[in-house]
Amino acid sequence: MLRRDEGKEIMKTVGKYEKNLVSILVPVYNVGKYIRKCLDSILVQTYPKLEIILIDDGSTDESGKICDEYASKDARIMLIHKHNGGVTSARKAGLKMAKGEYIGFVDPDDWIEPNMYKEMLKCMLETKTDLVHTNRIKEIGKTNYTVKEHKELYVLTDLDRNVDFLKSVLDGRFPLVLWLNLFKHELIKECYDCIPDYFGNGEDYAIIVGYMLKCRSITFLPASFYHYIKRTGSIQHNADINLMVTTAKQFETINLFINGSKLKFVLKPYLNKCFIRRMLFIINKTNIIKPIPIYIPDSLDYLKGKRIVICGAGTIGKDYYIYLSRHHDYNIVMWVDDIPSNYYKERVCPVANIMNCDYDLILIAVEKEDLAIQIRKSLIEQGALPDKIYWKSPRSIIDDEIINDDTI
């Protein structure tokens, strides 16, 4: 259900709400070059009742000393120094200390506009929702631009029944970052209690999905308060084998969240599709693993309705057999090879058996043209009709088309 609200109704004075404590959590690790700008932007927030929790996660640069300096000057700052355990352990440590009814997150190399938490809290309380989400300003070098996912204020309710929206969250159409949101303390803590301290990079996705499954309503505020700084060399912009491990952890955790949802029977199959797509995307777009191609015949329309003999039981032949046998448009009457693999031995016949079979087409299942020519010559010598022998270079479907295929 979508409920639209007049912007003017939301933008009232915040005075009567100033009793509500907002805790802002900032995990800190080796960001000495940037953290002052971040902290300065938080300290000038126009909402007065803030608790600023800095979690120094074992920094080896000057970050820890800068945090000490700021904590000594402003009583609203609470500081934790801990051994390095990763961003998840840092945020969980901050949540344990937080006393606010509402929780916000800021990354230490970003910065925020002065009225961010005043407007977000005002919006949350006026609309009586469980989460407020805003737009962001993206900064790359000297270029700044506003990313406007939301162009008008609206409230989304009945999330526990909104399958389409929850699917959009699972497949990443909703921005899966913590720092664009204002959360309720009890709900975000429940989510963090479900993940281990060592979760690390990628926790945002799991936590956001978990929170969406727990909350009932969201307000989308069409304002841009958060300056997201994209820096080359940042952890989140480098892909390696850890990305696959992180993705597996994300989806394992999300699966646990979904198990507790009323919509688990609808969402779990969709989550599986999202996981396959994500893994294929990582494999395809990085050099983590050399992609294993899946081969299918070229000119599939030409093969429809024909009685097909697949000639060849190597890698190409196996892929052809698996693909064509799963689709009702193709009729495989025989699969032949004089040297079949052990796995397919019971299904593959000797090539000579073709002469005792009614068929429309012999599909040569090899990759190289010179080998296909040799097989064609051998088939003709054994009595096969030349105009019924077919070969074209096989097509690989490990590429963008399979990653974006809705049938996966």
Domain borders along the chain are: 2-231, 295-396
Asked whether the predicted pLDDT for residue 283 surpasses 90, the reply is: no
Nearest Cα to 19, choosing from 49, 42, 45, 51? 49
- For residue 21, the model assigns a pLDDT of 96
- CA angle 40/46/52 to nearest 5° reads 50
Average pLDDT on 290-312 reads 87
Counting residues of the chain whose pLDDT is more than 90, the rounded percentage is 61
**What is the reported pLDDT for 400?**
40
**Among 282, 84, 91, residue whose Cα is nearest residue 177:** 91
Give pLDDT tens digits for 347-358.
Answer: 899 999 999 999
What integer is the mean pLDDT of 66-75? 96
Q: Distance (Å, rounded) from C-alpha 269 to C-alpha 258?
A: 11
DSSP class per residue in 384-402: --GGGEE----EE--SHHH
Residue 316 pLDDT level (bands cut at 50, 70, 90): very high
Strand ranges, E, within 279-393: 295-296, 307-311, 331-336, 361-364, 389-390
The residue with greater pLDDT, 406 or 136, is 136
Question: In this predicted model, which residue has the larger pLDDT, 34 or 10?
Answer: 34
What pLDDT score does 240 carry?
56
Question: What strand order describes the sheet that includes 361-364?
Answer: 331-336, 307-311, 361-364, 389-390
Burial of 364 (0-12, 13-18, 19+ CB in 10 A): buried
The residue-averaged pLDDT of 363-376 equals 95
pLDDT for 310 beyond 90: yes
Q: What is the mean pLDDT of residues 32-52?
A: 96
Over residues 97-114, mean pLDDT: 97
> Is the C-alpha dihedral spanning 7, 9, 12, 15 positive or negative?
negative
Mean pLDDT of 310-315: 92
> pLDDT at position 399, please?
44
User: pLDDT higher for 98 or 138?
Assistant: 98
- Taking Cα atoms as reference points, which of 405, 397, 404 lies closest to residue 293? 397
Average of per-residue pLDDT across 104-122: 97
Is pLDDT of 127 > 90?
yes
Closest Cα to residue 364, out of 354, 356, 375? 375
Stretch among 41-45, 198-202, 254-258, 318-322 having the lowest mean pLDDT: 198-202
Rounded to 10°, the helix 163-170/203-214 angle is 170
Q: Please say if the pLDDT value at position 401 is more than 60.
A: no
Does the domain at residues 295-396 carry the CATH identifier 3.40.50.720? Answer: yes
The CATH code for residues 2-231 is 3.90.550.10
Per-residue pLDDT, 398: 58
The DSSP symbol for 71 reads: H
pLDDT in tens, 133-185: 999 998 887 777 677 677 788 899 998 888 988 988 898 778 889 999 999 99
Which has the closest alpha carbon to 96: 139, 42, 53, 149? 53
What pLDDT sits at residue 289? 59
In this model, does residue 39 exceed pLDDT 90? yes
pLDDT at 341: 58
Helices (H), 177-304: 185-192, 203-214, 241-259, 264-285, 300-303
The reply to whether domains 2-231 and 295-396 share a CATH topology is no
**Element (DSSP H or E) covering residue 182:** strand 181-184
What does the mean pLDDT of the chain come to?
86
Per-residue confidence (pLDDT) for residue 18, from 0 to 100: 60
Residue 114's contacts (CB-CB under 8 Å, 6 or more residues apart) are 41, 44, 45, 46
Q: Per-residue pLDDT tens for 372-387?
A: 999 999 999 999 999 9
Q: Tell me what pLDDT residue 184 has.
A: 97
Which residue's structure tokens are 């809290």?
A: 121
Give yes or no for residue 5 having a pLDDT over 50.
Answer: no
- pLDDT for residue 396 is more than 90: no
Displacement of CA 197 from its chain's centroid (Å): 20
Give pTM, 2 decimals: 0.67
Name every residue whose Cβ is closer than 8 Å to that of residue 254 and which is 6 or more positions away in sequence.
170, 205, 206, 209, 210, 271
Can you tell me the mean pLDDT for 37-64? 97
Determine whether 138 is exposed, middle or buried from the number of CB atoms within 10 Å of its CB (0-12, 13-18, 19+). middle
What is the pLDDT, as a whole number, of residue 204?
Answer: 92
